[in-house]
Structure 1
Amino acid sequence: MSDDLRELPLRERKKLRTRRALSETALHLFTENGYDATTLDQLCDAVEVSKRTFFRNYRSKEDVALAADSDLWSAYLEQVATLPMDGPLLDALRSALDTTLGAMDPDWERRFLATRELSEAVPALRAHSLGYCQDTTCALVTTVIGAAGTEVDEERLRLTVEIFVAAWRTASLRWTAQAGQGGREGLMRRIEETFAKLPEALTAAVQ
């Protein structure tokens, strides 16, 4: 049991174990048997929980398939909410991403890579992932406004967040295309390289 789990009340530890068991088993079944061929009944039977328990943890089959994404961004939004908003916003968002990635569980990048590969192969998951990305972008804007605590230029803020999300997607897609080369450190290097290209990208000319 990890130290993080030991610090939680027993009820919360059980809930987290169930949630992780559902996401791990779902990813295994979807990869081995196919996403469309795997039913929620089969998933619940494999984990030995009821559908009611499933829906207390995830809203849908798509949600459990993309659990690695939601694990990252839920933790990220919590991190951003604590940021001091006294410097360049893009730098703060990038720093929070590094911190969040560093704190994810040791097996997260394996799950994330498998999730990305599954999403690319299943149109329904790809569409759900895009919708989730839009929802997360809106939530990030709201979180930053709340953390700022003062009036902000919402249009400029939203543009900065959109640039941040685009850079993340570019880096993570490149890492996925390279079969997760270098593991988590490799992903963080791709992120660093992508953000370093932003100034040039924003002034690029088509020749």
Structure 2
Amino acid sequence: MSDDLRDLPLRERKKLRTRRALAETALRLFTECGYDATTLDDLCDAVEVSKRTFFRNYRSKEDVALAADSDLWSAYLDYVAAQEMNGPLIEALRMALDATLGAMDLDWDRRFLAARELSEAVPALQAHSLGYCQDTTRALVEAVSGRSGTDIDEVRLRLTVEIFVAAWRTASLRWTAQGGHGGREALTKLVEETFAEIPAALTSSA
């Protein structure tokens, strides 16, 4: 998602700025004051918006805390829907992820790392993250299976998408454990390295 909003209508620019302000302020308050100690009223007061405005942008505290995740996967699903995909499916999915990561705004790395660290520390966010992961996996299966010309067995499709998601989670958890060192370039490299390990992982001895 580009930081250049000039091509958007004024109404859309204002909406996107409000959404970003809520996400940025939520991460700051949750980190500085604690997730449980920060109420939606606190967040709305800090951004100077109503709760009604909040709920037009996010469904819950968990949703706004993990906005960096939903920003990435919303953009990813849009990319997959718009692009022609050829060759092995898992490689096509990985290349789409590389492209999506490269297109995220410059501050996304910091927000994603902060969201991951919060998720590791707050059980409610862990549960929400797992639920969101399941929803995204289901949406990706539907997006791929709904493409014209796609000819892949349903079981293989679901296995491929599950492996893709597991590889991403493995890479992103490694990056988070390293404190986000190296930024997005390092994250992208970890993604590539992790996907390269899939064949060996599937044939590893017990």
Q: TM-score normalised to the size of structure 2?
A: 0.97
Q: C-alpha displacement at 1:153, in angstroms?
A: 1.5
1:35 equivalent in structure 2 = 35
Pairing 1:1-207 to 2, within 5 Å after superposition: 4-206=4-206
Identity %: 80
Find the aligned partners of 2:28 and 2:9 in 1 and give their Cα distance. 29
| Amino acid paired to 2:204 | A
Find the aligned partners of 2:3 and 2:54 in 1 and give their Cα distance. 26
Matched residues, number = 205
Structure 1, unpaired ranges of 5+: none
Find the aligned partners of 2:130 and 2:136 in 1 and give their Cα distance. 10
Find the aligned partners of 2:82 and 2:14 in 1 and give their Cα distance. 27
1:148 and 1:205, CA in 2 relative to 1: closer, same or farther beyond 3 A?
Answer: farther
Structure 2, unpaired ranges of 5+: none
Find the aligned partners of 1:30 and 1:3 in 2 and give their Cα distance. 24
Larger RCO: 1 or 2 (CA < 8 Å, sep 6+): 2
Q: Is the 8 A contact 1:137 1:165 kept in 2?
A: yes
The CA RMSD over aligned residues, in Å, is 1.1
Find the aligned partners of 2:161 and 2:113 in 1 and give their Cα distance. 24
Q: C-alpha displacement at 1:149, in angstroms?
A: 4.2
